[in-house]
Amino acid sequence: MEKTWLLPPALIVTGFVGILPIFALLNYSLQTPFELENKFVGLDNFSKLFKDYRFTDAVIRTIIFAATSLAIQIPLGLGLAYLLRGASKLNAFISSLLILPPLFPPVTIGMMWLLLTRSNGPFGLIFNSILTSLTGEAYNIYGNAVHSFATIILMDVWHWTGLTYLIFLAALSSMDETYLLSARTEGATRWQIFKYAEFPQILYPLLFIILIRLIDSLKIFDEVFILTGGGPGLSTEFVTQYIRTMSIEQWIFGYSSAMSLVYLFIIIIFCWLLIIGLTKGRGILE
Amino acid sequence: MTSGANVDRRTTLKIISGTVAGLVVGGVTGWFARPAEVGAETVTRTVAETVTRTVTVTGVQTTPQFPPGLGPEDRPFLDQAYKFIDFIGGDTVLTRSQLEEEIIHYVRASKPYRGQTLKVMYEAVPGAVWEEKNLTPWFENITGIRLSFESMSNFETIQKSLEDARLKAGIFDVIGTDQDMNGFYIYQKSAVNISDLLRRKPELTPPHFDVQDFFLRASYSDSAGNLYALHAYNAFAGTVYRKDLFEDPKNKEEFKKRYGYELKTPMEYYSEAMRTGKVEDDWTTEKARDVAEFFTQPDKGIYGYITGIRPGDWLGWYIADGLDDCFQLSDPAPEGKYPLDVTHIDGVSTPWAINVKDEVIGGASVKNGGRLDSEGGQAMYKWWLEDSLKFAPKKAFEIGVVEAHDAFKFDGNYATMWPFYFHWATGLAAADSAVNGKFEFAPYPVYAPYYHPRKPRGYIDPSGWVLSAYSPRQEASFLFASFMVSKAVELKKNFEVGLPVRWSTIQDKRFKELDREWGGMITVVEMAQKNFFGTDNAIGVVYPSILPLARDKATEAIGRGLTGPEIAKYVAEAIDDFLKTTGWMGRKVGPL
Amino acid sequence: MTFIAKTLKIILLSFVVFMFFIPLYFTFAVSLSSKARINEGVIIPDFYLGNWLEIFGGFGYWRNGIINSLIVSTAAMGVSLLVSLPAAFVFTRYRFLADKHLFFWLLTNRMAPPVVFSIPYLMIWRGLNLWDTHYGLVLAYMVFLIPLTIWILAGFLSSIPKEIDEAAYIDGYSTFTLFRKITLPLLKPAIGVAMFFAWLFSWTEMFFASVLTSSVAKTLPAQLLTALGKVGWGIEYGPAAAAGFVSVIPGLILLYWIRKYLLRGFVIGRL
């Protein structure tokens, strides 16, 4: 095989920026650098991690957030793709509005929502009137953990539905109609058509979008930090924010390195299981 | 060749060897091709500009003599220097000849360092912003030293100056931050000892440097009097209030009826107490509470108080910046001295009422010798995170402390706010302010049970320029920093920003004329001056780590709906836990 | 469509339009408001132009942020594509030992939160004099962009049947000519997609930018983070909103150019 030199450049670069830091982190996680004295503590940092309620809470919170947000934005994207796939000016207009938020920098989205959800901002006013008429409570992201968490999820759905929509739209428009036709002539119901004729064809895009969105949700930082800064108490503090506080702010660096490695490991395992599960063991290269 | 249906050993081998070869080649070329050292001496200004303009026509010398130490090659810089002197004009406390002396000094002293580039980072306080906008182009032209700026927020400055100190990397040459970090810098030896630098290189000292003129020298020095930063702008803090509301006779009548004592302005209470020496006459936290309650009429849209408790860094620094001084949690300054004169209060000191007897770090909670969860500390948290919210509008939950300052200015319907930073005076006096002409300043209220006349009672947040000890360009950095805070520019700067750092400025007649417009800010500073205090040097050593911790714990506590006293205990315990686990508790950090 | 379905559709669509239009309008309105108006609550702006002047003039912080973002995004996009295209080709055309594992490892780099890598990068870059340079930031972005672009390209490449390759080889094409004359044209939409995502990622990335840059190479998102924390005279929502608006524009332009390709390009095909 000639042209095998095509691959090494990518490996070299990624190796440099991807492996070197891991070694650095491993190195730090076994010591207490940048603190009063740097001593070797072995696996102490790791064992502390598992007893740390703030960490385990943050992990659970992040997972709940990711699961809920995905559970909303993916079906929503699919539904919208079905609804809007005809060619019409109205559809095109709505599509263009939908597709915009994924193009915004997350920090801009955080800032937009910060201003929007104040009590004198449009969303603040509207949510407040909805909530007070339904439950009698005022809308208060900084005082009420549920409001805060719900707003974050809403913001994330708002942010990314456009992307899921786009992917499904492309998938739908490239679908092979023959299966559909044969299913229809055989008298299948709409649901059966979907389940047996259409769904298998959107499986790969579905996997793609679930994987991407899951990874990004587990990594979320910018918007949440700007909007709630961790929320009332710690109710919207996700793992990335906690790592940041420990590493860049408090410089308890050995501990935060251990945390980084453990969290990275968690994410990788998650994704690996997902890939294996959804591709029935064939792996992602297929 | 096959199109690859089997695992091919030879392919694998080729890929591996290709990768290894690539790494080696890439590494070697990368080493040689790496970008030039940031800030290497690149001559950015060819000094060999033609000097032909000095050619005389009739033998009459049309250009001024070169000052000592300078020659024809310095002509462009001298020209700029004279232009700058004209720019300053009369807006200075120096005489014309003193001004010339001072500026020419910079032309001379910068000669060896021309062409260097300094990386400067600063917290975007109005004084620094003014300096960057107005002074730095002049500085670059007068000295030939180039500047590269990063302007940032408070939490970022702490974060990045921590990076500089921890990594010992010399990321920045000059750091503009506030004195909270001073103890930290001295302990870590990451800031240049300026007094020492000037002893070694006396030619750098400006003729009118006048260190004694600085208002709060102590906050930037160690116990031996060595200077570790150049004091650039003072954020004094105290009480701001709506004078018109307090002086309204109807309000006075109402108040007397309801509370049984006279309604006077906070400044009047304070002056009275200074006369009689009795704290009951003073502007106390009791009275502040009564006043806030009295003025709160939500249906009329008026509130007695405004604050901001959205999750953010202010939940850490608002206590440090003054609430703990209002509630008199520290020990008094030693006999014969006042808080303004000392860098360290032996015993319990602020911020966070940590015990630092003999410069040994103790704890914040009462059982470890501190006072954060004492009666006073509990009263403090009770006021801020419980009671005051009854007297503030709902938007206090959504805004931070800084936005609360904005709100005081724009909404115009709050009776008091404390702590409040005095440098907002220029903003409050501006045309777009709703309280223009109606506001006045007073010192902090005090918690009567803990009051002592030699305790800190005014917070001063002096910000300044620190020179990084890891920078190879310390001399140029000193020239830059000293230029920014020079006596030459102080007055002009403070006409606009109101953050005077020098006595000569505060006592200047022209500056005092602004006092009325600025709500009596200068009067307060002159009256309460002895009681202004910043961050204790010993506590400063752990300040950067405690700040995010205090913030997070306060946020958590608010989220859990704890009462004030519970919050006090919660935060105090958390701080002590931290100090214990990191090994700081019991450690002697002085002498600093 | 039945009447109920139609009404539902209209309700749903109005809701969508409302939710997605208001934030845009609002941000734009805030960018045209003075501080006093922002404090009150912006429904109609007071057409204060100072914020936009600040973005393009002022101290130059915002302006430099925009320029730096443009430089870094374009460079990162270029470098990652240059490196990933051959790599994706090799992954999909050839089998070798541990190729699947290698591919997965590449993807795991994409999974790492930026905060995990920031301090190691800070220290290593500092030692190599790459801190606060455009090179440094572009290099840091490679850890995400290379896996991302390889993934996208490999996805498309694997749907180009190998029979085409075989036919070309039989006709005597070298691999390189095959690539140039046949694969590349077929791959255009994929490259478009990869370019788009690579550029967009770099344009919107904030964390690395805030840690690894300072005065020289600070990008727009990092500048936004700074502005939202500034104490001084108060938080500058006006200029931040204007900058936020600017941060959307390139994405819009890009989207417009490649919208045809995007729709066609997502034809991933049956597998």
What is d(CA B408, CA B168) in angstroms, rounded to the nearest whole number?
A: 42
Cα B256 from Cα B254, distance rounded (Å): 6
Average pLDDT, integer, range C24-29:
89
Tokens for C150, please give them: 């390889």
Interface contact flag, B171 C133, Cβ < 8 Å: no
Q: What CATH number does residue A231 fall under? A: 1.10.3720.10
CB contacts of A235 in chain B (<8 Å) are 559
Residue C230's pLDDT is what? 57
Task: Give a three-class secondary structure readout of chain C.
Answer: CCHHHHHHHHHHHHHHHHHHHHHHHHHHHHHCCCHHHHHHCCCCCCCCCHHHHHHHCCCCHHHHHHHHHHHHHHHHHHHHHHHHHHHHHHHHHCCCCCHHHHHHHHHHHHHCCHHHHHHHHHHHHHHCCCCCCHHHHHHHHHHHHHHHHHHHHHHHHCCCCHHHHHHHHHCCCCHHHHHHHHHHHHHHHHHHHHHHHHHHHHHHCCHHHHHHCCCCCCCHHHHHHHHHHCCCCCCCHHHHHHHHHHCCHHHHHHHHHCHHHHHHHCCCCCC
What is the Cα–Cα distance from A224 to A236, expressed in whole angstroms? 8
Q: What is the mean pLDDT of residues A270-275?
A: 86
CA distance B271 to B265: 10
Whether the per-residue pLDDT at B310 is higher than 60: the answer is yes
**Band of pLDDT at residue B48, cut at 50, 70 and 90:** very low
Query: Which residues face B466 on adjacent strands?
Result: B175
Residues in chain A: 286
**Residue B123 pairs with which residues in a beta bridge?**
B152
Q: Provide Rg for chain A, Cα atoms.
A: 23
Please give the pLDDT value at position B44: 32
Interface test with A, best of C18, C20, C151, C196 (most A CBs within 10 A): C20
Best A1, A16, A17 residue to mutate vs chain C (most C CBs within 10 Å): A17
Nearest beta carbon to residue B152 from set C129, C133, C226: C226
Q: For residues B442 and B525, give the distance between their C-alpha atoms in angstroms, rounded to a whole number.
A: 9
Indicate the fold that domain C59-265 takes in CATH: MetI-like fold (1.10.3720)
Crossing angle of the two packed helices C61-93 and C99-111, in degrees rounded to 10: 160
Question: B191: which strand partners?
Answer: B468
Q: Which amino acid is at C168?
A: A
What residue numbers bound the domain in which A93 lies? 52-250
Residues from chain C contacting residue A18 (CB–CB below 8 Å) = 109, 112, 143
In a domain, A280, yes or no: no
Residue recorded with tokens 């809007």: A84
Q: Which residues in B lie closer than 8 A to residue A145 (C-beta atoms)?
A: 559
Which residues belong to CATH 1.10.3720.10 in chain C? 59-265
- Measured CA to CA, the distance from residue A255 to residue A33 in angstroms comes to 9
Residues in chain C with CB shorter than 8 Å from the CB of B125 are 231-232
The owner of tokens 């997965």 is C104
Residue given tokens 């206090």 in the structure block: B396
Tell me if chain A has a CB within 8 Å of the CB of C106: yes
Higher pLDDT, A167 or C252: A167
Considering the four listed CATH numbers 3.90.650.10, 3.40.190.10, 3.30.40.230, 3.30.420.40, the one that applies to the domain covering B70-235+462-512 is 3.40.190.10
Q: Are strands B348-349 and B439-442 parallel, antiparallel or unpaired?
A: unpaired
**What share of chain C has pLDDT > 90, as a percent?**
25
Nearest CA in chain C to A199: C270
In this structure, how many other beta carbons lie within 10 angstroms of the beta carbon of residue A158?
19
CB B348 within 8 A of CB B355: yes
Nearest of B308, B254, B340 to residue B421 by alpha carbon: B308
Per the document, the length of chain B is 592
Cα–Cα distances in angstroms (integers) from residue B127 to residues B217, B419, C21, in the given order:
18, 20, 40
Minimum mean pLDDT among B342-356, B427-441, C172-186: which range?
C172-186
Average pLDDT, chain B: 85
The predicted-structure confidence for C65-115, as pLDDT tens digits, reads as follows 999 999 999 999 999 999 998 888 888 877 777 777 888 888 889 889 999
Rounded to whole angstroms, how far apart are CA atoms A1 and A4?
7
**All residues at 6 or more sequence positions from B444 whose CB lies less than 8 Å from its CB, including other chains:** B237, B238, B239, B322, B325, B326, B418, B419, B457, B458, B459
Q: Which among A219, A225, A265 has a CA at the least distance from the CA of A240?
A: A219
Structure confidence at residue B40 (pLDDT): 33
pTM: 0.84
The one-letter amino acid at A14: T
The answer to whether the CB atoms of A231 and B18 lie below 8 A apart is no
Q: Residue C192 — pLDDT band, cuts 50, 70, 90? A: confident
Report the pLDDT value the prediction gives residue B45, as an integer from 0 to 100.
Answer: 31
Could you tell me what percent of chain B has a pLDDT over 70? 90
DSSP annotation of A121: S
What number is the average pLDDT over the span A248-276?
89
**Helix (H) or strand (E) run with residue B234 in it:** strand B230-242
> Is it true that the peptide bond before B591 is cis, omega within 30 degrees of 0?
yes
Note whether B294 and B259 are within 8 A (CB): yes
Confidence of residue B9 (pLDDT cuts 50, 70, 90): low
Kindly tell me the burial class for residue A42, based on how many C-beta atoms sit within 10 Å of its own C-beta (0-12, 13-18, 19 or more): exposed
Under the banding of pLDDT at 50, 70 and 90, the label for residue C265 is very low
C92, B3 Cβ separation under 8 angstroms: no
> Which residue would you say has higher pLDDT here, B591 or B4?
B591
The string of pLDDT tens digits covering residues A198-254 is 777 788 788 888 988 999 999 999 999 988 888 887 889 999 999 998 888 888 888
End-to-end CA distance of chain A: 21
- Name the DSSP class of B532: E
Residue B418 φ then ψ, to 5°: -155, 140
* Residue of A111, A163, A272, A278 to mutate, interface with C, max C Cβ within 10 Å: A111
Cβ-in-10-Å burial (0-12, 13-18, 19+) of B59 comes to exposed
Nearest CA-CA partner of A75 in A164, A193, A208, A196: A164
Minimum mean pLDDT among B46-60, B323-337, B445-459, C105-119: which range?
B46-60
Residue B244 tokens read as: 């018109």
Higher pLDDT, A63 or B61: A63
C2: exposed, middle or buried (C-beta count within 10 Å: 0-12, 13-18, 19+)?
Answer: exposed
CB atoms C229 and B151 under 8 Å: no
From A21, A169, A284, residue closest to C120, measured CB to CB: A21
Map residue B211 onto helix, strand or coil: helix
Q: Which of B342, B322, B525 is nearest to B423 (CA)?
A: B525
Note whether A274 contacts C: Cβ–Cβ < 8 A.
no
- Predicted local distance difference test score (pLDDT) of residue C255: 66
**Residue A252 with chain B: CB contacts under 8 Å:** 582
Virtual torsion, Cα B7, B13, B14, B19, nearest 10 deg: 120
Quick count: other Cβ atoms within 10 Å of Cβ B95? 9
Distance CA B188, CA B168 (A): 10
Domain count for chain A: 1
Could you tell me if B228 and B185 are in contact, meaning their C-beta atoms sit under 8 angstroms apart?
yes
Largest Cα–Cα distance in chain B?
A: 103
d(C-alpha A83, C-alpha A94), whole Å: 11
**Considering chain B, what percentage of its residues have pLDDT values greater than 90?**
41
Which element (helix H / strand E) includes B109?
Answer: helix B96-109
Tokens of A102: 């994924």
In this complex, the residue of C36, C214, C230 whose CB is nearest that of residue B124 is: C230
Check whether C203 has a pLDDT greater than 90. Answer: yes
Contact indicator for B184, B477 with CB cutoff of 8 Å: no
Helix (H/G/I), strand (E/B), else coil: B327: coil
Residue B325 parent element (H or E)? helix B324-326
CB within 8 Å: A272 and C104: yes
Taking the CA of residue B136 and the nearest CA in chain C, the distance in Å comes to 12
- Kindly state the tokens that stand for C141: 């972005």
Residue corresponding to tokens 């005076």: B425
Could you tell me if residue A138 is inside a domain?
yes
Q: Which residues 80-119 on chain A approach chain C with CB closer than 8 angstroms? A: 80, 83, 90, 94, 97-101, 103-108, 111-116, 118
CA distance B225 to chain C (A): 30
- Residue B590 φ then ψ, to 5°: -100, -175
Give the separation between CA C79 and CA C142, rounded to whole angstroms.
8
**SS3 category, A96:** helix
Residues of C in contact with A160 (CB under 8 A): none
Largest CA distance in chain C: 74
Q: Given pLDDT bands bounded at 50, 70 and 90, which one contains residue B573?
A: very high
